[in-house]
Amino acid sequence: MNDPKEIMRRVNALAKISEEADRLTRTFTSPAMRQANQLAAGWLRQAGMKVRRDAIGNLIGHYAGENPRSKILLLGSHLDTVRDAGKFDGPLGVVLAIACVENLHRRKIRLPFAIEVVAFADEEGVRYQTAYLGSKAFAGCFDPKDLRRKDAGGISMASAIENFGGDAAKIKSAATDPKQLIGYVEAHIEQGPVLEEKNLALGTVTAIAGQTRAKIIFKGRAGHAGTTPMDLRKDALCAAAELIMAAENLARKTDGLVATVGQIHAGPGAVNVIPGEAHLSLDVRHVKDSTRHAALQRLGQTALKIARKRGLKSHFEIVHEASSVACSTTLSGLLGKAILRRQKKWLQLPSGAGHDAAVMAKICPAAMLFIRCKEGVSHHPSESVKAADVKLALGVMNDFLQMAAEKYRQIHGV
Amino acid sequence: MNDPKEIMRRVNALAKISEEADRLTRTFTSPAMRQANQLAAGWLRQAGMKVRRDAIGNLIGHYAGENPRSKILLLGSHLDTVRDAGKFDGPLGVVLAIACVENLHRRKIRLPFAIEVVAFADEEGVRYQTAYLGSKAFAGCFDPKDLRRKDAGGISMASAIENFGGDAAKIKSAATDPKQLIGYVEAHIEQGPVLEEKNLALGTVTAIAGQTRAKIIFKGRAGHAGTTPMDLRKDALCAAAELIMAAENLARKTDGLVATVGQIHAGPGAVNVIPGEAHLSLDVRHVKDSTRHAALQRLGQTALKIARKRGLKSHFEIVHEASSVACSTTLSGLLGKAILRRQKKWLQLPSGAGHDAAVMAKICPAAMLFIRCKEGVSHHPSESVKAADVKLALGVMNDFLQMAAEKYRQIHGV
The full 3-state SS of A206-236, as one line of letters, equals EEECEEEEEEEEEECECEECCCCCHHHCECH
Cβ of A377 under 8 Å from any chain B Cβ? yes
Cβ proximity of B316 and B303 under 8 Å: yes
Restricting to B residues 351-370, those with a Cβ less than 8 Å away from any Cβ of A are 351-354
Chosen from A260, A273, A310 to mutate, greatest number of chain B CBs within 10 A: A260
Cβ of B131 under 8 Å from any chain A Cβ? no
For residue A253, the chain B residue with the least C-alpha distance is B230
pLDDT for res A265:
97
User: CA–CA separation, A38 vs B70, rounded Å?
Assistant: 97
User: CA–CA separation, B135 vs B79, rounded Å?
Assistant: 12
Does the pTM surpass 0.90? The reply is no
Cβ proximity of B197 and A232 under 8 Å: yes
Question: For chain B, which residues score pLDDT lower than 70?
Answer: 1
Per DSSP, what are the bridge partners of residue A60?
A52, A118
Strands (E), A297-352: 313-322, 325-326, 347-351
Residue type at B351 in one-letter notation: S
Cβ pair B238:A244 closer than 8 A:
yes
pLDDT for res B248:
98
Cβ of B344 under 8 Å from any chain A Cβ? no
Choosing among 3.40.50.2300, 3.90.740.10, 3.30.565.10, 3.30.70.360, the CATH entry for A210-322 is 3.30.70.360
pLDDT for res B180:
97
Chain A nearest C-alpha distance from B289 (Å)? 14
pLDDT for res A17:
98
For residue B281, the chain A residue with the least C-alpha distance is A271
Query: Quick check: A118 pLDDT over 70?
Result: yes
Question: pLDDT exceeding 90 applies to what percent of chain A?
Answer: 92
pLDDT for res A131:
83
**How many CB atoms neighbour CB B348 within 10 A?**
17
Cβ of A196 under 8 Å from any chain B Cβ? no
Chosen from B244, B291, B378 to mutate, greatest number of chain A CBs within 10 A: B244
> CB neighbours of B168 closer than 8 A, spacing ≥ 6?
B55, B147, B157, B158, B159, B161, B162
Query: Quick check: A237 pLDDT over 90?
Result: yes
Residue A221: its chain B contacts at CB < 8 A?
375
Cβ pair A224:B274 closer than 8 A:
no
Cβ of A263 under 8 Å from any chain B Cβ? yes
Give one DSSP letter per residue of B216-246, joined into a string.
EEEE-B-EETTTS-GGG-B-HHHHHHHHHHH
| Domain map (residue ranges) of chain A | 4-208+324-412, 210-322
User: CA–CA separation, B52 vs B60, rounded Å?
Assistant: 5
What is the torsional sign of CA A220, A226, A230, A231?
Answer: negative
pLDDT for res B183:
98
User: CA–CA separation, B392 vs B374, rounded Å?
Assistant: 16
Cβ of A54 under 8 Å from any chain B Cβ? no
Contacts 24+ apart (CB under 8 A), A35-41: A36/A79, A37/A79, A37/A119, A39/A13, A39/A14, A40/A14, A40/A79, A40/A94, A40/A98, A40/A119
Higher pLDDT, A301 or A68: A301
Cβ of B223 under 8 Å from any chain A Cβ? yes
| Partner-chain residue, chosen from B223, B260, B264, that has the shortest CB–CB distance to A274 | B260
| Partner-chain residue, chosen from B226, B261, B275, that has the shortest CB–CB distance to A211 | B226
Residue A274: its chain B contacts at CB < 8 A?
260, 262
| Partner-chain residue, chosen from B351, B354, B376, that has the shortest CB–CB distance to A223 | B376
Chain A nearest C-alpha distance from B344 (Å)? 23
Restricting to A residues 160-189, those with a Cβ less than 8 Å away from any Cβ of B are none
pLDDT for res A270:
86
Cβ pair B262:A241 closer than 8 A:
no
| Partner-chain residue, chosen from A225, A244, A377, that has the shortest CB–CB distance to B262 | A225
Read off the DSSP letter of residue A144.
Answer: G
pLDDT for res B197:
95
Instruction: Give the CA count within 13 Å in the CB-facing half-sphere of A3.
Output: 5
Chain A nearest C-alpha distance from B95 (Å)? 23
Cβ pair B262:A213 closer than 8 A:
no
Q: Helices A4-15 and A31-46 sit at what angle, rounded to 10 degrees?
A: 160
Residue A376: its chain B contacts at CB < 8 A?
223-224, 227-228, 232
| Alpha carbon of residue A146 to chain centroid | 20
For residue A282, the chain B residue with the least C-alpha distance is B271
Cβ of A376 under 8 Å from any chain B Cβ? yes
pLDDT for res A1:
67
Is the bond preceding A275 in cis, omega lying within 30 degrees of 0?
no
> CB neighbours of B165 closer than 8 A, spacing ≥ 6?
B34, B53, B57
User: CA–CA separation, B250 vs B308, rounded Å?
Assistant: 20
Residue A378: its chain B contacts at CB < 8 A?
224, 227
| R_g over Cα of chain A | 24
Residue A256: its chain B contacts at CB < 8 A?
229
Cβ of B238 under 8 Å from any chain A Cβ? yes
pLDDT for res B239:
98
> CB neighbours of B7 closer than 8 A, spacing ≥ 6?
B92, B95, B96, B99, B390, B394
pLDDT for res B237:
98
Assigned fold of B4-208+324-412: Aminopeptidase (3.40.630)
Chain B nearest C-alpha distance from A308 (Å)? 17
Give one DSSP letter per residue of A356-396, joined into a string.
HHHHHTTTS-EEEEEE--GGG--SSTT----HHHHHHHHHH
